[in-house]
């Protein structure tokens, strides 16, 4: 049985509960290559239960390094629960998640992020009056080494580090096409550009794995095309692995190297986009058509 993808897993809170047992049109990829190479993500038999109801039921899939892997399915299929497990918000009741050989199951979100996992969300979470530049600088926080006192006193080492981070922000902004918007308040931008700010902020963390939750939802056709080009550039130019949840099947089929299909918390299909499109079980369960 599936359950709404909210609440906390059985026996604990999201962070502390224990288990039951094409490149973009602007910017240069070379200027924003990550500090570390991508790694394989292995999701193995992950089950999540909420008060006895099963949100994910022994779900398994593997994300190859430097690939785009889409997780699709109807509302309530378990996609958001899956993302919450991958990012450390929920703990799996059973099963494991390994990234580059490191076990993620049971780690808090900040510990998962420290391993190079970044996530964007369905809903915008940008400070509306903060400039785009400063919004992106927030993504550099975990990489900053200067202490509060050194920064406040503008000591030379802190000033040099600040300049390096701001230069990196400009590079990443150019890569996603936001170089002309750095001085603008984030909340003043069109919706599609605000979503790009969120994506750029995630890139500012120098991720090895990027979790994108409905990155083109609510966009115009032109905005979807632009964002899809940026995502392709992240994969092709930077080699970052991407796990993508998206309802726009046109975007999924163009971007994804592999697809996992969920329904009622179970994996019902997977493979290449072409294989998934022609899988009778997927057609019946996800598309609601006769196979």
Query: 151 lies in a domain?
Result: no
Q: What is the pLDDT of residue 15?
A: 40
CATH number of the domain at 38, please: 3.40.50.300
For residue 226, being part of any structural domain is answered with yes
- Is 60 a domain residue? yes
Residue 184 lies in a domain: no
Domain membership of residue 215 as a residue range:
29-125+207-287
Q: What is the DSSP string of 66-123?
A: T-EEEEE-STTSSHHHHHHHHTTSS--SEEEEEETTEE-TT--HHHHHHTTEEEE-SS
Average pLDDT over residues 235-261: 95
pLDDT digits (tens, 9 = 90+) for 21-72: 344 444 444 444 444 467 899 999 999 999 889 999 999 999 999 999 999 9
User: What was the pLDDT predicted at 282?
Assistant: 86
Q: Considering the entire predicted model, what is its pTM?
A: 0.82
**What span, in angstroms and rounded, lies between the C-alpha atoms of 108 and 205?**
17
Backbone angles phi, psi at 114, to 5 degrees: -65, -20
Go through the chain and tell me how many residues it has.
Answer: 291
Does a structural domain hold residue 266? yes
**Do the domain assignments include residue 145?**
no
Tell me, yes or no, whether 117 lies in a domain.
yes
Residue 249 lies in a domain: yes
pLDDT tens profile 147-169: 555 455 565 666 677 788 889 99
**Count of the separate structural domains present in the chain:** 1
pLDDT digit string (tens) for 80-95?
999 999 999 999 999 9
In the three-class reduction of DSSP (H, G, I as helix; E, B as strand; rest coil), residue 262 is classed as strand
């Amino acid at each position: 049985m599936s359950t709404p993808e909210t609440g906390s897993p059985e026996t604990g809170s999201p962070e502390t509960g224990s288990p039951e047992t094409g490149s973009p049109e602007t910017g240069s990829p070379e200027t924003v290559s990550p500090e570390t190479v991508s790694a394989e993500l292995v999701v193995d038999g992950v089950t999540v239960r909420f008060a006895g109801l099963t949100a994910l039921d022994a779900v398994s899939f593997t994300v190859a390094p430097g690939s785009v892997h889409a997780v699709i399915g109807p509302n309530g299929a378990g996609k958001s629960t899956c993302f919450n497990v991958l990012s450390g918000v929920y703990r799996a009741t059973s099963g494991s998640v390994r990234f580059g050989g490191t076990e993620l199951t049971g780690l808090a979100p900040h510990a998962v992020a420290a391993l190079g996992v970044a996530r964007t969300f369905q809903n915008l979470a940008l400070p509306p009056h903060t400039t785009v530049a400063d919004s992106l600088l927030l993504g550099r926080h975990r990489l900053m080494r200067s202490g509060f006192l050194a920064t406040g006193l503008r000591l030379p080492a802190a000033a040099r580090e600040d300049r390096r981070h701001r230069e990196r922000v400009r590079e990443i902004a150019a890569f996603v096409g936001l170089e002309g918007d750095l001085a603008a308040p984030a909340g003043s931008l069109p919706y599609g550009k605000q979503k790009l700010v969120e994506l750029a902020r995630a890139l500012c963390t120098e991720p090895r794995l990027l979790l994108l939750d409905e990155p083109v939802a609510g966009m115009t056709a032109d905005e979807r095309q632009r964002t899809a080009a940026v995502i392709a550039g992240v994969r092709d130019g930077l080699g970052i692995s991407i796990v993508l949840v998206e309802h726009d099947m046109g975007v999924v089929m163009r971007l994804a190297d592999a697809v996992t299909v969920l329904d009622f918390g179970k994996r019902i299909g997977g493979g290449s986009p072409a294989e998934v499109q022609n899988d009778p079980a997927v057609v019946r369960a996800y598309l609601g058509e006769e196979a």
